[in-house]
Structure 1
Amino acid sequence: MGSYDPAMSRIGLIGMGRMGAPICANLVSVARAVAVHDVDPAREQAAWACGATWCSSAPETAAAADVLITVLPGPADVDTVMSDAVLDALAPGATWIDLTSSSPTAAAPVRERARAHGVEVLEAPMGGGPDDARAGRLRLFVGGDGDLLARHRPLLAAIADPDAITHVGGPGAGYTIKLLVNMLWFGQAVATAEALLLGRRAGIALDVLRDTFADSAASSEFIRRDLPSLLAGDYLASFGLDHIHDQLATVTSLARDLATPHDISEAVRRLHQQALKRYGPADGELLAVALLEERTGIRLRE
């Protein structure tokens, strides 16, 4: 089966939030037509503004698409959106690509229902934030059939760095990899914050701590790329603390199911649960660090 020509494709997009809106704009730049729906009718204007067609319902969006793409907050939203009405509206042989950070366990029944309707499925949870989405340089962790991915690579290259569209395995592998990446990143963030707070309390200058960590065996992608934002007072308000906790809880649940150690993962989850209790479902990927700062009485600021 040959590649799917984006210039001839009819794309359906469900989800016009902070990630979906810039993804929509990039899809419009390459596809013949893009039809869009979101549960929030206030996002209709954003759809028209980027050149897409607004649909009043998810089934209407699916009926207008050869490829349906979902960009949703979490597994429950995917389960709700991908109803039998939506799957019936998709033509047999259509492809559904889910960009949501989901649970492999929760996604499995939805995937099987889609296949029973004759719909092909790829999962491609995203790495990156809204700026990456606007620039079309997302990272995609793709689970599913390799030939199906090869067919849709030209389309996915409109929203992601072509070298960062990675086939990580069969169904479920993409969701699992994304969860593990998130768990490690959030773990690095809070571990780095604890080290910085201890160093400051011990009287070491923050810039010395930062530079030494960055140029030592302690360095990480978080320290190299994201620590400057924290030190500038930016808690990265691009994702809700409630969704962060849900994803971390999914990791620990998966570890329990598969009987693997998860003491550190559970500690990271518990800290984010405490941050959620303190701050509520606010946006901020580094709000657990804010909680540590509050408890210590030290702000990590240059």
Structure 2
Amino acid sequence: MLTRHPGPIVAVRSPLAGSKTRAAGAHRPRSTISRTGPVTKRTLTVGFIGLGSMGSGMTRNLQASGFPLVVTDVRPEAAADAVARGAVWVDTAAEVASRSDLVITMLPTPRHVDQVLRGPDGLLDALPSGGTWVDMSTSVPEVAERARAERPDLRVLDAPVSGMSVGAANGTLQIFIGGEADDVERLREVFEAMGEPERILHVGGHGAGYAVKLMINQLWFSHLIATAEVLSVGVKAGVDLEVLRRALVASPANSNFVEHDVLSILDHGDYDEGFALALACKDLGLSSDLARSVGMPYELSGLVDQQFRRAKAMYGERAGEMAPFRLYEDLLGEPLRRARAAAEVSR
């Protein structure tokens, strides 16, 4: 359950098993980060755990902004570029905590986050009293809730992102932050190193960031399935693909997906392998878990979930997140491509 937040959504600018409760702050050093003033690249060492397709770009931009980094990953080779740029490599999450002022996690699933928090040499025991943990993974509100219950002396923010690996590489991510407003403001410069200032949103209390990100993913995946269905039916009925798409763009049925995102498929046959279909299915599962936990129906999105899982069975876990579009192309008997793009490719 996410923590209710009384304030509005504002832009900030420039389901896990129980575990043994820890005594908050027992035998731990105090954090050296100021509780009042903003932190800057001159005063802060950032620990970063998880340098995959998203984390690699995020760390690159943190370094470009001048933040010293301490990093680790289950695959040391994933951190090679960051280390070559001057980041310090350590072997465990506990070492990251001991050598950093702030720790960011960017991990595939809640299970991976739990392992980093509570596994051998875990983060949760090693963070100093008053320390800061920011989870930028796509996860569930219970993750932050449990961490805060076990370590109420910590400052915790959930800050999942949107923008895919391209946004991570370009420093143009949208970031949805749940937690205390003072902590969000204090870390403004850190977030702005990774995202567009006007798209960094404080969306509510603890857990709200996770919830907002899951709802965004759920709706985007629904747009994908609806668009694939509409375009394939229209083309089968004899309408030119681009004529149909332009009619949709000019109509009340327009969406960012129809106007922009679908063009990666229609122009380039790119189903976004930078984000695996297995992870998309994971996110849809988390959305259904959230809906059940708050007692709300999930009927339409459940159908979307079925199509994504069907695509995973057909094309494999490593297929791109937009691979469910191929289900409709296969039924149509041809790929959906704009004629102009096809002509450009054939030159």
Give the aligned partner of residue 295 of structure 1: 331
Structure 1 CA distance, aligned partners of 2:67 and 2:110?
A: 29
Give the aligned partner of residue 209 of structure 1: 244
Q: Does 1:197 align with 2:266?
A: no
Structure with bigger helix share is: 1
Structure 2, unmatched stretches of 5+, are 1-35, 339-347
How many residues were matched structurally?
Answer: 300
Displacement of 1:295: 2.6
Superposition RMSD on alpha carbons, in Å? 1.5
Alignment of 1:1-302 (within 5 A): 1-83=36-118, 85-113=122-150, 115-116=151-152, 118-232=153-267, 233-302=269-338
Equivalent pair of 1:25/1:51 in contact (CA under 8 Å): no
Displacement of 1:218: 1.2
Structure 1, unmatched stretches of 5+, are none
Equivalent pair of 2:141/2:207 in contact (CA under 8 Å): yes
Matching residue's letter, 2:77: A
The structure with the larger Rg is 2
User: What TM-score, normalized to structure 1?
Assistant: 0.95
Structure 1 CA distance, aligned partners of 2:72 and 2:245?
A: 44
Displaced runs of 4 or more, over 4 A: none
Displacement of 1:49: 2.4
User: What TM-score, normalized to structure 2?
Assistant: 0.83
SS state of the match for residue 260, structure 1? coil
Once the two structures are aligned, what percentage of the paired residues are identical? 38
Matching residue's letter, 1:294: D
Displacement of 1:29: 2.5
Equivalent pair of 1:12/1:64 in contact (CA under 8 Å): yes
Equivalent pair of 1:8/1:31 in contact (CA under 8 Å): no
Displacement of 1:52: 1.0
Q: Relative CO higher for 1 or 2, CA cutoff 8 Å, sep ≥ 6?
A: 2
Equivalent pair of 1:71/1:98 in contact (CA under 8 Å): yes
Equivalent pair of 1:214/1:224 in contact (CA under 8 Å): yes
Equivalent pair of 1:35/1:64 in contact (CA under 8 Å): yes
